[in-house]
Amino acid sequence: MVAVEQRTYKRYIYRAPVTYEYFRTNDYFGAVIHNHSMGGMCFETHYAVPKGVEVFIKITNFSPEASAPECRKGYHAEVRWCQERKDLEQPTFRVGVNFFEPVLL
């Protein structure tokens, strides 16, 4: 039997630099968006981020005239999963998050 992927929102491939912090710590780490949707995003970072923690993702190239996700200064989200990429020399993790409020694209 083939597993069917069930997602609430369509995902869009998107690459852009961001920073993220464990919510309200003001200690930011660099990352790159891999894809995004109205309900969340996937980003890559050099650090494992525990499932269930709240993060604030700050958009580096914020512009109110831009299309999503750069039309907002940042996103408050919960980490849903974190997977290490084994195909790279440097430790790299893909992190999937759900936004606390859906974003209109």
pLDDT digits (tens, 9 = 90+) for 81-92: 999 999 988 999
Q: Look up the pTM and report it.
A: 0.84
Query: Which tokens belong to 19?
Result: 């920073």
Domain 12-99 sits in CATH at: 2.40.10.220
pLDDT digits (tens, 9 = 90+) for 15-36: 989 999 999 899 999 999 999 9
**DSSP calls for 2-38:** PPPP--SS--EEEEEEEEEEETTS--EEEEEEEEE-S
